[in-house]
């Protein structure tokens, strides 16, 4: 699946950048092949417009922010969060420029990240109740560029057949290759997936779980939101709930920005955030190693049965079916970008 060829993906929210990265000025990002620039407006809210000045095409991300508006670093033309040009310094004695604009995008802060939707949103940003539950703390884990397709990371997140292989040096039990049975419950924007998996708890990784047991059990409730967000709630017998949010934010057809944070019902005194991150880094690096060795052009052709012959491939199959339905329904969607108006 080439994400840039499916225009409807522009109508979903994607986690793009930690708000903390915007503290020292505008930052560029490429989302679904579109170059955008993000900054903080005068209220502290994130803003996003096309990263291309409509004067002489300079990247606005090379500029700076003044009074919550972005200033082009080439000749100083200034734009507000709607993309409207508010100032042309070379004609500052004239009335405000009219009709000069760059494309702007829906942009909101949630969970400490700037989220962007390039066109009119079809759904909202997924709600994670843990974020407002005082029992949970949030730990920001990874903000990494991976060379793989977004759908590959999503299907991997629901593929219980890989634990005994990809994760055999961490939590996977090499002698238990047959995945546990799972229940899948669809809802409008995705599906829930429930399963129970016995896992290893190797010595070097026990700190992160806060238990010394050599083996334990994961009761997993995993949720997929169309197209590229999942939340994996893992409950352990000793009471720990480790909930991982992973966004495979599509940069282009072959690369993603992995945005991952967790919610935990323990405290920093019980388990240090750095130990939590160290554990998930080991596991995530194992996934990354194999996913970057897959074909990023994920086939969405449902007739290609070789990719879905096992019961554990069913979540991936359902993802593709749901995406196919989406693409068919919105296949003719025409997205209009206002042409830049010459100054
Ligand atoms: S290119 Fe941006 S102000 Fe000239
Ligand atoms: Fe994995």
Query: Percent of the chain, pLDDT > 70?
Result: 92
Ligand 1: which of 26, 58, 59, 69 to mutate, judged by most atoms within 8 Å of the beta carbon?
58
Ligand 1: which of 60, 72, 85 to mutate, judged by most atoms within 8 Å of the beta carbon?
72
Mean pLDDT across the stretch 272-296? Answer: 93
Are 38 and 151 members of one domain? no
Q: What is the Cα–Cα distance from 247 to 170, expressed in whole angstroms?
A: 22
pLDDT in the model for residue 335: 39
Neighbours of 198 (CB within 10 A): 13
Q: What does the CA dihedral 230, 235, 239, 243 come to, rounded to 10 degrees? A: -10
Residue 177 banded pLDDT, cuts 50, 70, 90: confident
pLDDT in the model for residue 332: 52
pLDDT in the model for residue 308: 58
**How many Å lie between the centroid of ligand 1 and the Cα of residue 73?**
7
Domain boundary among 93, 117, 141: 117
pLDDT in the model for residue 304: 60
Whose C-alpha lies nearest to ligand 1, atom 4? 75
Query: Percent of the chain, pLDDT > 90?
Result: 73
Are 220 and 284 members of one domain? yes
User: What does residue 130 show for φ and ψ, rounded to 5 degrees?
Assistant: -60, -25
CB neighbour list of residue 294: distance below 8 Å, 6 or more residues apart: 148, 149, 152
Q: What is the Cα–Cα distance from 99 to 86, expressed in whole angstroms?
A: 10
Max mean pLDDT range (88-102, 254-268, 286-300): 254-268
Nearest ligand 1 atom to the CA of 75 is: 3
CB neighbour list of residue 325: distance below 8 Å, 6 or more residues apart: none
Q: What is the extent of the structural domain holding 288?
A: 130-328
Are 45 and 157 members of one domain? no
In the DSSP assignment, the letter for residue 318 is H
CATH number at residue 61: 2.102.10.10
Residue 99 banded pLDDT, cuts 50, 70, 90: confident
The answer on pLDDT for 336 being more than 70 is no
Ligand 1: which of 74, 85, 341 to mutate, judged by most atoms within 8 Å of the beta carbon?
74
Span 112-165, pLDDT tens digits:
999 999 999 999 999 999 999 999 999 999 999 999 999 999 999 999 899 999
Of 242, 8, 285, the C-alpha closest to 119 is 8
Q: What is the Cα–Cα distance from 150 to 323, expressed in whole angstroms?
A: 12
pLDDT in the model for residue 313: 83
Mean pLDDT across the stretch 227-249? Answer: 97
Name the 3-class secondary structure at 155: helix
Nearest ligand, measured from the Cα of 63: 1
Domain boundary among 61, 89, 117: 117
Out of 2-16, 44-58, 326-340, least confident range: 326-340
49 class by beta-carbon count within 10 Å (0-12 exposed, 13-18 middle, 19+ buried): buried
pLDDT in the model for residue 181: 87
Mean of the per-residue pLDDT values of the chain:
91
**How many Å lie between the centroid of ligand 1 and the Cα of residue 205?**
52
**How many Å lie between the centroid of ligand 2 and the Cα of residue 331?**
32
Nearest ligand, measured from the Cα of 71: 1
Are 74 and 204 members of one domain? no
From first CA to last CA, the distance across the chain in angstroms is 39
**How many Å lie between the centroid of ligand 2 and the Cα of residue 165?**
9
pLDDT in the model for residue 307: 59
Mean pLDDT across the stretch 5-13? Answer: 95
Q: What is the Cα–Cα distance from 194 to 33, expressed in whole angstroms?
A: 34
Nearest ligand 1 atom to the CA of 58 is: 1
Neighbours of 318 (CB within 10 A): 19
Asked if residue 335 is part of any domain, the answer here is no
Asked if residue 341 is part of any domain, the answer here is no
The answer on pLDDT for 8 being more than 80 is yes
Are 148 and 176 members of one domain? yes
Nearest ligand 1 atom to the CA of 57 is: 1
pLDDT in the model for residue 291: 95
Domain boundary among 117, 151, 175: 117
Are 142 and 106 members of one domain? no
Neighbours of 33 (CB within 10 A): 15
Nearest ligand, measured from the Cα of 57: 1
The answer on pLDDT for 57 being more than 80 is yes
Out of 45-49, 66-70, 164-168, 273-277, least confident range: 164-168
Whether 14 and 116 have beta carbons less than 8 Å apart is answered as yes
């Amino acid at each position: 699946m080439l994400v840039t060829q499916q225009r409807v993906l522009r109508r979903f929210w994607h986690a793009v950048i930690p708000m903390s990265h915007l503290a020292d000025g505008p930052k560029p990002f490429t989302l679904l092949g579109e170059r955008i620039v993000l900054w903080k407006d005068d209220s502290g809210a994130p803003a996003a417009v096309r990263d291309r000045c409509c004067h002489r095409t300079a990247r606005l991300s090379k500029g700076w922010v003044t009074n919550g508006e972005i200033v082009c670093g080439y000749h100083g033309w200034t734009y507000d969060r709607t993309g409207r040009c508010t100032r042309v310094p070379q004609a500052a004695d004239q009335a405000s420029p009219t009709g000069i604009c760059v494309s702007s995008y829906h942009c909101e802060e949630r969970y400490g990240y700037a989220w962007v939707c390039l066109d009119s949103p079809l759904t909202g940003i997924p709600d994670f109740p843990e974020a407002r539950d005082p029992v949970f703390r949030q730990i920001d884990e990874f903000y990494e560029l991976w060379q793989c397709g977004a759908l590959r990371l999503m299907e991997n997140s629901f593929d219980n057949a890989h634990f005994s292989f990809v994760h055999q040096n961490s939590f996977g039990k090499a002698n238990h290759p047959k995945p546990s049975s799972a229940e899948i419950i669809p809802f409008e924007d995705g599906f829930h997936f429930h399963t129970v998996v016995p896992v290893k708890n190797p010595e070097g990784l026990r700190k992160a779980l806060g238990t010394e047991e050599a083996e334990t059990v994961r009761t997993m409730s995993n949720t997929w939101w169309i197209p590229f967000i999942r939340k994996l709630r893992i409950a352990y017998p000793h009471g720990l709930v480790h909930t991982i949010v992973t966004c495979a934010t599509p940069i282009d057809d072959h690369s993603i920005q992995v945005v991952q944070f967790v919610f935990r019902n323990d405290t920093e005194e019980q388990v240090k955030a750095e130990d939590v991150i160290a554990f998930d880094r080991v596991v995530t690096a194992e996934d990354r190693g194999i996913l970057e060795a897959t074909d990023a052009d994920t086939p969405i052709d449902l007739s290609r049965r070789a990719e879905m012959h096992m019961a554990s491939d069913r979540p991936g199959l359902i993802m593709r079916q749901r995406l196919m339905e989406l693409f068919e329904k919105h296949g003719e969607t025409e997205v209009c970008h206002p042409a830049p108006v010459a100054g």
